[in-house]
Amino acid sequence: MYEDATSVIRVIWFIWISTRSIPNIFKEVFTLDFGFSFIVFPRPAREIVLRYLPWSVGLLLFTTIISWTLGNILGVIVSFVKNRYISGALENIAIVLYPIPYYVFSLALIYVFAYLIPIFSLSPATMPAINIASLWDLINMVFHMLKTVSAPALSIIVISAFGWWFISSRTLSLATMTEDYVVYARLRGIDIGRIRGRYVLRGIMVPQVTALALALGAIFSGALVTEYIFAYPGLGSLLYQAIIIGDYPIALTILSLSMIGVTLATWFLDTVVYYLVDPRIRFAR
């Protein structure tokens, strides 16, 4: 039985290798059709990857939006704090957190909140069956997804929000506060909340959006490693299984999908969002 299975895998491997060519590779990259998976043959690798994709996209979107927004807002608020001890303490915490990789902080979270204080579960997360027959089933599924995503999301949000985004936002805010239009707004007696939002926060959005576009690749790769550490049912765990087993169709599908996804997201931020947040750009009517 095992000899027959081994022979079948060898034949599949030989066929997959023999069909490799430059035109085929380019076609497969843009169609995400790398053939059948070796793990669950004969299912297509694209079908398996698309099943795991919503979990990774949900985690990445949730953590990126929350951490970027929270870090920018906190940086602007702290830049207006006159107490140097409070602002200095927060800045020192951010400086300590910034160089820590996602996976190191993830291991610390697991040790504290899964072993010492058992809030998170140590067991691998499972994909709930999408079988919504009532409102209660929908609530249970959403609750299960939130419970599953909370631990990996917390590690990414803390490092990102209180790391680079807080430091860069505070630095840019302090520089923006010395600009003539901000000083003039203060002399006019404009409310401090309006100065924070419409003058300072809006003024730092352009470089922060550009920085977000440049950091998407690192955020995505860090999220994949975090998924594996927390046994999160996303592309990170699937990619690890594919590499260990040698399922190259699944690995290439994930890498191609991540390359295309990060490129499109970067293009969207640098074109659409950039024009929306830059106050110097106006569209003709």
- The CATH number of residue 139's host domain is 1.10.3720.10
**Average pLDDT over every residue of 207-228:** 76
Please report where in the chains the tokens 């939006």 appear, as a residue.
Answer: 65
Within a domain: 43: no
Within a domain: 227: yes
Q: Is the pLDDT assigned to residue 19 strictly greater than 70?
A: no
- DSSP state letters, 61-95: HHHHHHHHHHHHHHHHHHHT---HHHHHHHHHHHH
Cβ(79)–Cβ(133) under 8 Å? no
Within a domain: 272: yes
Q: Is the pLDDT assigned to residue 253 strictly greater than 70?
A: yes
Within a domain: 24: no
Number of neighbours of residue 61 by Cβ within 10 angstroms = 11
Q: Is the pLDDT assigned to residue 185 strictly greater than 70?
A: yes
Within a domain: 233: yes
Cβ(49)–Cβ(247) under 8 Å? no
Say which residue, 131 or 267, is predicted with more confidence.
267
Q: Is the pLDDT assigned to residue 14 strictly greater than 70?
A: no
pTM higher than the cut 0.85: no
**Average pLDDT over every residue of 220-241:** 79
| Predicted pLDDT of residue 81 | 77
**Average pLDDT over every residue of 3-10:** 59
Within a domain: 250: yes
Chain mean position to CA 110: 19
What are the tens digits of pLDDT across the range 69-97? 888 888 888 888 777 777 778 788 888 87
Q: Is the pLDDT assigned to residue 246 strictly greater than 80?
A: no
Number of neighbours of residue 67 by Cβ within 10 angstroms = 24
Q: Cα angle vertex 207, ends 205, 210, to 5°? A: 105
Within a domain: 245: yes
Number of neighbours of residue 234 by Cβ within 10 angstroms = 28
**Average pLDDT over every residue of 200-211:** 80
What are the tens digits of pLDDT across the range 32-68? 666 777 777 677 888 888 888 888 887 888 888 888 8
Alpha-carbon torsion (204, 197, 163, 92), positive or negative: positive
Backbone φ, ψ for residue 177 (5° rounding): -65, -20
And the tokens for 235? Answer: 């592309």
Q: Give the residue numbers spanning the domain of 166.
A: 49-277
DSSP annotation of 36:
B
Percent of the chain topping pLDDT 70: 74
Distances (CA, A) of 151 to 8, 50, 162, 259, 271: 40, 23, 17, 26, 33
Q: Is the pLDDT assigned to residue 280 strictly greater than 70?
A: no
Q: Is the pLDDT assigned to residue 108 strictly greater than 70?
A: yes
Candidate ranges 140-144, 200-204, 222-226; pick with highest mean pLDDT: 200-204
Residue 179's nearest CA partner among 209, 200, 202, 207 is 200
Residue 202's nearest CA partner among 220, 179, 225, 218 is 179
Within a domain: 247: yes
Q: How many domains does the chain have?
A: 1
